[in-house]
Amino acid sequence: MILDAHGHIGSWPDFLIPDPSAGGLVAMMDRLGITAMGVSDLLGVGPDAVEGNRRAFEAAAEHPGRFGVWQVYNPHHRTPLTDRPGVWGVKLHPDVHQCRLDDPLYEPVFALGLPVLAHGQTDSPWSDPAQFATVAARHPEVPLLMGHTGLWPYGFARAARLVADHPGVLLEVCGSKITGRWISRLVALAGAERVVYGSDACFLDLRAGLGRVVLAPLAETDRDLVLGGNLARVLGSRLA
C-alpha cells in the first residue's frame, strides 16, 4: 500500500501548475498504484483556509477513499477545525502564514491531538527544524510530520539529528531539492520507521516524488515503511 503524505489540489500564484485538478491526481495515482493521498487545497494554504478546506473535503467526497484531508489552520484567522471522517489531520504552513511553528497561536491545533503536517524549512525564521523539536517536546503525543525534512539538502542531516529524541516527529521527504540518495541517507540516519513518503503533488509532479523513493537505494522492507507503512501506523483508523 502506497500512501502519499503530502499532496495539494488547486493552483498557486508563484508559478504555472499545468494540471492542478483532483481528478488529474487520482488518474495518476491509479496508474502508479497509490492508494491514497493526504491533501490540502492551495487556496487554504493561501488566504482562505475555510474555503480551501471546504474544497478539500469536496474533492475527498468526489473520490472516496483516495484523499485524506489535511485541514489548513491559519493562526491569524483561527480556522475552525473538525475531526470528521476523512480527516488525516491539520496542515500548518508557518512560512506562508508568517507565524513560527513554536508560536502559541498554534496551541489550539496541538491541543486537538490530530496528526499535524507542517512545512519545514531549514534556516527559515518560521519553520526551522529546531522548532519541530520544541513543539514535539511540548506535545509528545501529537504525531508531527516535518514537511520536506527542512527542504534544503544542507539541512537534512541536522533535521534528523534535531528530532532524533522525539519519536513523534516523522521526516516527510517531498521537495524539489531532495534526492533518492538523500532519502536513503535519512533512513540510515533516522531509521526507516521515521521517514515518510510525500510528493507535494500537484505543486510538484507526483511521478518525480514517488520515483525518488521507488528508485532510491533502499532495502525493500525499509522502502515499504517509507512508502506507506509508517503513515498507516500514524493514521490508524483514519485510513478506514
Partner 1 sequence: MVDAHRLVGPVPFDDLPADPRPDMDRLGIEAACVTHTLCLYADPAAGNEALSALDDPRLIPVPVVVPGVPGAGVPAVLDEVLDWDVRLVRLCPERHRFELTGPVALRWLAAMAARDLPVAIDLEETSPAALRTLAAEIPDLRVLLLNPGYRRLRAVAELMATVPNLWLEIGTVNTQRGVEWLAERYGADRLVFGTGAPVLDDCGPRFLLDHLELGAAEVELIASGALRRLM
CB of 23 to partner 1, least distance (A): 12
Given 61, 82, 83, 176, the residue binding partner 1 (CB under 8 A): 176
The answer to whether 195 and 186 have CB atoms below 8 angstroms apart is yes
Tell me the window of 68-76, 95-103, 142-150, 215-223 that interacts with partner 1 (CB under 8 A): 215-223
Residue 202 is a binding residue for partner 1 (CB under 8 A): yes
Q: Does 31 bind partner 1 (CB under 8 A)?
A: yes
Q: Does 209 engage in binding with partner 1 (CB under 8 A)?
A: yes
Kindly state the smallest distance separating residue 140's Cβ from partner 1, in Å. Answer: 33
Residue range at the interface with partner 1 (CB under 8 A); choices 13-21, 80-88, 110-118, 187-195: 13-21
208 binds partner 1 (CB under 8 A): yes
Q: Is 13 in the site for partner 1 (CB under 8 A)?
A: no
Residue of 85, 140, 167, 217 interacting with partner 1 (CB under 8 A):
217
**Stretch of 16-24, 74-82, 83-91, 187-195 lying at the interface with partner 1 (CB under 8 A):** 16-24
For partner 1, the binding residues in 96-155 under the rule CB under 8 A are: 153-154
SS (H, E, C) the chain: CEEEEEEEECCCCCCCCCCCCHHHHHHHHHHHCEEEEEEEEHHHHCCCHHHHHHHHHHHHHHCCCCEEEEEECCCCCCCCCCCCCCEEEEEECHHHHCCCCCCHHHHHHHHHCCCEEEEEECCCCCCCHHHHHHHHHHCCCCCEEEEEEECCHHHHHHHHHHCCCCCCEEEECCCCCCCHHHHHHHHHHHCHHHEECCCCCCCCCHHHHHHHHHCCCCCHHHHHHHHHHHHHHHHHHHHC
Which residues of the shown chain bind partner 1 in the complex (CB under 8 A)? 14-20, 24-25, 28, 31-32, 153-154, 176-181, 201-217
